[in-house]
Amino acid sequence: MKTTTQAQKVTYKDGKISVPNKVLIPFIVGDGTGPDIWRATKKVLDTAIKIAFNGEREISWVEVLAGQKAFDSTKSWLPEETIAKVKDMKVAIKGPLTTPTGGGIRSLNVALRQIFDLYACVRPVRYFEGVSSPVKKPELVDLIIFRENIEDVYSGIEFKKDTKEVKLLIEFLKSVGHTVRADSGIGIKPISEFGSKRLVRKAIQHAIQNKKPSVTLVHKGNIQKFTEGAFCEWGYELAKDEFSNETILEKEVYEKYNDTAPQGKVIIKDRIADNMFQQLLIRPDEYSVIATTNLNGDYLSDACAAQVGGLGIAPGANIGDEVAVFEATHGTAPKYANQDKVNPGSMILSGVMMLEYIGWNKAGELIVSAFAKTIKQKRVTYDLERQMSGATLLKTSQFADAIIENMM
């Protein structure tokens, strides 16, 4: 008689992830175009896992509600049950969510990051041959950006002009020697040693585990010394204190090793943010892993995604010490909802990041190579088709089927 194993949760032991062969993963379908891209993503992920592991591994998907779908059925944009299940099952994937308007939650994505302390926003950026790009050599871009996700100007500490709070702040600033115009609004930018170090730690660990050549600390420390500048200093300090065997400073490589890092050492370097934007356009191949503060990371992620052909295929994840949520990086694109039209690439590649996170890399590799092949064959959705000559226009579901065909 055939026995069926029950699906189990991801767990952690001594900081290490443990993933059963049949694993429970919660998913949020998302609003607008979410259902279209989720259907395509699920099909691609399930097929790849089946092929890669001969049916011995499987994801048992658990739907949890958030966004408009949650509000319509529970009157809550982010039900407690969803929070409890994601917390319990540790690894989740989500489609884009409508930002509620008027009162309550400012942004569901920000709420999720804060509730689960998802302090690292991780965005890999690479080029797929055939995609139209605004630069001459997009294939030189192969980066992964670790953006601090909780602090900086995103901490939500802002005071409106003319309020009691802003007047108090202006008074306080005057008492410590700073003049601020009376008609100002004021935002606060907290950057902590704890928050900076845990983000840089994740970036360096990623570089070591994946044999990446360097980690670049991107900051605006020449102007904002005690926030951005401190982020950079703490990053170097962490590299020295925790990874001295595995890392080497760029300066040392230049001075002692004739500009070539010793085998197996990750180079730690830093760049001022404005310089980094031009460096990434001119010499992107000199950069590999980037660790940066929240606002710099927000700008850099989209600029880099644009450099390789746009946000439609840019994946992302928000990762903490225990919980990780993988997500499409674009919004709900509501005008295309239920038309089976948009590109599911961002969510599919976020699914690949999830497979890598749980150690099912073989399935992820299968998807990436089939994805690349499908684009190279110029079988693409409308967003890429309008920029390629001689391309075949596919619907969302047809694009997923083409990827699956290329996996066989």
The residues that are catalytic are: 154, 220, 274, 298
Q: Does 34 bind ligand NAP (CB under 6 A)?
A: no
Q: Does 79 bind ligand NAP (CB under 6 A)?
A: no
Q: In the complex with ligand NAP, which residue's Cβ is closer, 111 or 208?
A: 111
Q: Does 99 bind ligand NAP (CB under 6 A)?
A: yes
Least separation, in Å, of the C-beta of 332 and ligand NAP?
4
Smallest CA-to-CA distance from 367 within 396, 314, 407, 316 is with 407
- Binding ligand NAP (rule: CB under 6 A), the pick from 18, 331, 337, 393 is 331
With beta carbons less than 8 A apart as the criterion, state whether 155 and 299 touch: no
End-to-end, the C-alpha distance of the chain in Å comes to: 30
Run of H or E including 237: helix 230-242
Q: Does 114 bind ligand NAP (CB under 6 A)?
A: no
Q: Does 42 bind ligand NAP (CB under 6 A)?
A: no
Q: Does 122 bind ligand NAP (CB under 6 A)?
A: no
Judged by DSSP in three states, 152 sits in: helix
Q: Does 98 bind ligand NAP (CB under 6 A)?
A: yes
- For residue 219, count other CB atoms closer than 10 A to its CB: 27
Q: In the complex with ligand NAP, which residue's Cβ is closer, 96 or 284?
A: 96
The DSSP code sequence of 269-324 is EEEEHHHHHHHHHH-GGG--EEEE-HHHHHHHHHHHHHHTT-GGG-EEEEE-SS-E
Q: Does 41 bind ligand NAP (CB under 6 A)?
A: no
- Binding ligand NAP (rule: CB under 6 A), the pick from 342, 349, 366, 375 is 342
388 vs 356: CA distance, rounded Å: 30
Q: Does 330 bind ligand NAP (CB under 6 A)?
A: yes
Segment contacting ligand NAP (CB under 6 A): 172-180, 207-215, 284-292, 338-346?
338-346
Q: In the complex with ligand NAP, which residue's Cβ is closer, 309 or 364?
A: 309
363 vs 341: CA distance, rounded Å: 25
The DSSP code sequence of 246-265 is TEEEHHHHHHHSTT-PPTTP
Q: In the complex with ligand NAP, which residue's Cβ is closer, 247 or 301?
A: 301
Least separation, in Å, of the C-beta of 87 and ligand NAP?
19
Q: In the complex with ligand NAP, which residue's Cβ is closer, 298 or 356?
A: 298
Q: Does 383 bind ligand NAP (CB under 6 A)?
A: yes
Residue that is written with structure tokens 């969302």 in the block: 396
Q: In the complex with ligand NAP, which residue's Cβ is closer, 33 or 288?
A: 33
Nearest-CB residue to ligand NAP?
Answer: 331
28 vs 47: CA distance, rounded Å: 20
Judged by DSSP in three states, 120 sits in: strand
Residue that is written with structure tokens 């204190």 in the block: 241
Judged by DSSP in three states, 26 sits in: strand
Q: Does 374 bind ligand NAP (CB under 6 A)?
A: no
Q: Does 380 bind ligand NAP (CB under 6 A)?
A: no
- Binding ligand NAP (rule: CB under 6 A), the pick from 96, 138, 297, 320 is 96
Residues in contact with ligand NAP by the rule CB under 6 A: 33, 37, 96-99, 109, 312, 327, 330-334, 342-343, 346, 383
